[in-house]
Each structure stands twice: as C-alpha cells, then as structure tokens.
Amino acid sequence: MTRRVVSLLPSATEIVCAVGAFDRLVGVSHECDHPPEVVGLPALTKARCASVGSSQEIDASVRSAACDLVSMYEVDAALLRELRPDVVVTQDLCEVCAVSAADVARAVSSMADRLVDVVTLGPTRFSDVLDDVVRVGRAVGRKDEAVALRRSLQARADAVRRMASNAASRPRVVTIEWIEPVMLGGTWMPDLIEAANGIAVGARAGEGAPSPSPRALERLRPDVVLVKPCGFSLARALEEVDVLKRVLPWDSWPAVAAGRVYVADGNAYFNRPGPRLVDSLELLASCVHPSLFPGFRRRYADAVVRLTASGDVVPIGG
C-alpha cells in the first residue's frame, strides 16, 4: 500500500523527493521550496513571527515570541486531518527553523481515527544527516533507494576529503550562521570544515550556534570566513554587507585582508540537513582550497560570492 506522506521540514521534503517518493507527498511546510515541483502542494504550517526586516529585527521578533512562550509556527490541524497522512516527518532540533515536535504531536493527536507514523529528526552531525536519509526512506517505503542515496552522498563527501588532503595547509575557518547578533555555524558545520581540510574555530561539532563576544570574535583570526545566514538567499545576505563590516572584527581578521570572506546562499545550502548538505561541502571546499576545486567554483558560482577588504562583491572566480 502506498503511504501518504506529509513533510513539515524543508530538508525532509528534499529527502522524500530524492528517494523517489514525491508522488507520495500530500502536504509540506510553507518553507518547502525544493525541488521545484513541491511548490504548490498544500502547506500545513505558517509563521507567527515576522521574517522581514534586518537580521537584527528578525532576531528581536523571535526572541520576543520566545519570551511570550509563543510557538514560532502554527500547524493547520484541520488540513492535516483532511489530508489523512500515514507518515508525518518533523524535527526537534530547532524551534526557530521549523515547527516544533510538540506542536506536531498536538496536531496529530486530533487524528484519533488514524494510525500515523511520526518521524522526528534531530541531526547534529553530518553522519546523522546521512542516517536520516535512510530513516525517512524506510518510513515512506523507499528503503532501498535511500540506502543507495546514502552511499552516493557518502562517496561524494569522501571524494572531497581525499582531494582536500592534498592541500599544503589547513586554513582556520569561521562560518557565520546569523549576522546580527553574530552567531557561528555549529552542529554539522565543523564536520564539513574538517572534511574540506580546514580547521573549524569558534564552534564545536554537534553543538549549537555560539554567539561570541566582540573580543572573542577578534581572537579567532580566521583565514577563511563563510557567511551563510540561515534562511537568507544570497541576494538577501548581501543586503547586510555593511552590517558585517560593523559587527565582525573587519580590520583585524586575516581573512578580510586576504579577500577570503565569502557570502553564500544560506537558504539553499548549509542550513538544511538533507541531500544538499553534500553540495554545501563541495561549495565550502571551493572556498577553503580554491586551487584544488575549480570545478566546484564553476558549479556553485551562482550561489556564492567573495568580498574584498573594502566590502566590494566579487564573483567567486574573481
């Protein structure tokens, strides 16, 4: 029997489609936008907090909602009952990024007449993301395809690691998860940096995104900086270049002086723990060791740019 699937998480939606189960999707979240064919499917969530304004204003809105004990997202329980899913995929990693597991549980409890398999994802390491591919594939009836996809993704990651090991040096790398306040990329980001033969500074693998003080930021002295704000497209992130120059130790970081500050599409890459996390590794490797990965620089040229010390935007090949 074909299982009816609802995915309330963009990365899970990508996994469902990547294992060949798009035809089983009956509903998604309001943020699910990849692959393109999922756009237009019934959306079961909506945001309660404003997602417009500067990064500082968005952060203030989220913090205000948290103080008021208000969930960031709302689940349409009536629509969920109407869609009658057999599987609901959600997460318990970040209540700012997607609907909470508790809200999903309440919505599913209203479907007392139906047995629903709730798959809750909470990856914190790169290996967890690969394991989740198999978990989701098994739940939607595509286990064999999921195992094959996991194997393929691991092979691509291993290929990057092997090539990067030929580098003559290991740059110190900082990734920026949010601009104001500054938050660094934790969870799987240090894993990706290590795989690209860099040294992750300022954050630990498997842990949340730290928000260092200005003095602590200055001490990091990275050789490479990658800015990829969660939920921001490349164009949206570039709107805050002047903010970056103000909140980062712009005049003292070696990466700035060397013109090795990169800004990337944080909505499509790095922040979604799904198949495109391997694409993110390839993109990152092309920034950490440009001479070793010219093909990746061409492949991801539309998703990342470089900033000069004066803040001018330069194509990644420039």
In this structure, the number of other CB atoms found within 10 A of the CB of residue 214 comes to 11
Domain boundaries, the chain: 5-149, 168-315
Fold of 168-315: Rossmann fold (3.40.50)
Which pLDDT value is given to residue 69? 43
CATH of domain 5-149: 3.40.50.1980
Structure confidence by residue, pLDDT tens digits, 262-288: 999 999 999 999 999 999 999 999 999
Reported confidence tier of residue 241, pLDDT bands at 50, 70, 90: very high
Q: Let me know if the fold of 5-149 is the same as that of 168-315.
A: yes
Give the alpha-carbon dihedral of 21, 24, 29, 31, to 10 degrees. 40
CA distance 263 to 302: 11
Structure confidence by residue, pLDDT tens digits, 285-298: 999 999 999 999 99
Structure confidence by residue, pLDDT tens digits, 206-230: 999 999 999 999 999 999 999 999 9
